[in-house]
Amino acid sequence: MIEPGIDPSSATTAAEFVELLRRVRISSELSYRQIAQRARAHGVALPISTLATALNRDTMPRPEVVTAMLLACGCSREELARWLTVRRRIVLGPLSTADRPEPDRAEPNPPSPDEVKPDEAESRETLATPVAMDLQNRWRRLRARVPLWAILAVAIAVSAGGALWSADRTHHAATSPPVGSPPATGSPSPIIAAESIRVRPMTGAGCLSERSGTTGYLFIEPCEQAFPALSTEPADGGAFRIRTDHPEFGPGCMGVDPVATDDRPSDGYCPDVKHQLFTLIAAGGGMLVRNVELGQCLVVRPEAGSRAVIFADCSGDDPAQLFVIDRV
């Protein structure tokens, strides 16, 4: 059910129409990933990258994208018909050059799943059949893994045993020792190789993890249940990306949801996630995990009975910001 205050008839331009779609997405409290799942349940596949692109532009999305997103967000068929009617009116009306999209044949009645057929030129980035979506995801996995193995091979050849700087050696498990040793307090600690890792807070048990049924946001969960698998990918200037390998959605990156109302760390497909670069800073016997673009650090905070991981101003005096990085 769409929030009653969101009225598509109030839109007179493509930009206003897209802004209303953004409000629908936010009010639904669904992530891109969940919208894609629900769209598939309605018989259409909506790639996350397509949805993110549509909501981050002010040009009119194609009717197939509008249909899939609104159905996934709980829109009824009657409500959907209103949205598509408004879209058609804006597209066919006297628009400025900046607002005018490529003409299409949208109709006021929502198409059935069998009628959803994107143009051949856009089939890779708009809607696809579930079979095509599966092939596309397999290609993403292959493409995402090649750079990691290439970087790992180079790193091993250059410096066997080189890895992450780690935090307090006394807190690591015997089967999963921290990587390296920390530099002087307050100095950046560069990632010099691709490594499979896990991230543990120094303030209690558990590991950095998503939670089943959530929006890709991060929490502290029991290490044996933690997912997705994490690894590092070196970047310029001593920074690194935290690559993820989700058991259901495949390769991704840790960063920030591009249309979230706040800058909260989350996992998603790499093209859809912003603010992906991190550095480590030794402090208080552990490591601050600092986001380069935001200039803030990961911190563990209580949230509705859970231990949520969010961003906060970096402080080595805050024990909740100190982490141990283990090689796995």
- Partnered with residue 198 across adjacent β-strands are 326
pLDDT above 60 (res 3):
yes
Residue 214 token pair: 């959530």
Yes or no: say if 248 and 283 are a contact pair by the CB < 8 Å rule. Answer: no
The secondary structure of residue 122, as a DSSP letter, is G
Angle, helices 14-28/48-55, rounded to nearest 10 degrees: 130
Yes or no: say if 265 and 294 are a contact pair by the CB < 8 Å rule. Answer: no
User: Per-residue pLDDT averaged across 302-319, rounded?
Assistant: 92
User: Per-residue pLDDT averaged across 61-77, rounded?
Assistant: 90
Q: In 3-state terms, the chain is what percent helix, strand and coil (to 5)?
A: 35, 25, 40
Q: Where is pLDDT greater, at 325 or 252?
A: 325
Amino acid at 31: S
Does pTM top 0.75 for this prediction? no
CA distances from 78 to 88, 109, 110, 126 (A): 16, 9, 9, 24
What integer best gives the mean pLDDT of the chain? Answer: 74
pLDDT above 80 (res 120):
no
CB-based contacts of 14, cutoff 8 Å, min separation 6: 58, 59, 60, 90, 91, 95, 99, 101
**pLDDT confidence of residue 201:** 97
Residue ranges of E strands in the chain: 188-189, 196-201, 207-209, 219-221, 229-234, 240-246, 250-256, 265-268, 277-283, 286-291, 296-303, 306-313, 323-327
**pLDDT confidence of residue 268:** 77
Amino acid at 246: H
Angle, helices 14-28/77-92, rounded to nearest 10 degrees: 160
The secondary structure of residue 274, as a DSSP letter, is B
**pLDDT confidence of residue 212:** 75
Q: How far apart are CA 99 and CA 14, in angstroms?
A: 6
Q: How far apart are CA 217 and CA 290, in angstroms?
A: 17
Domains and CATH numbers, the chain: 8-128 (no CATH), 146-327 (2.80.10.50)
Q: Is the backbone peptide bond immediately before 251 cis, with ω within 30 degrees of 0?
A: no
The owner of tokens 């900046």 is: 98
The secondary structure of residue 79, as a DSSP letter, is H
Yes or no: say if 118 and 64 are a contact pair by the CB < 8 Å rule. Answer: yes
pLDDT above 80 (res 11):
yes
pLDDT above 80 (res 2):
no
Q: How far apart are CA 298 and CA 322, in angstroms?
A: 8
pLDDT above 80 (res 259):
no
pLDDT digits (tens, 9 = 90+) for 131-149: 444 444 444 443 444 444 4
Q: How far apart are CA 94 and CA 114, in angstroms?
A: 32
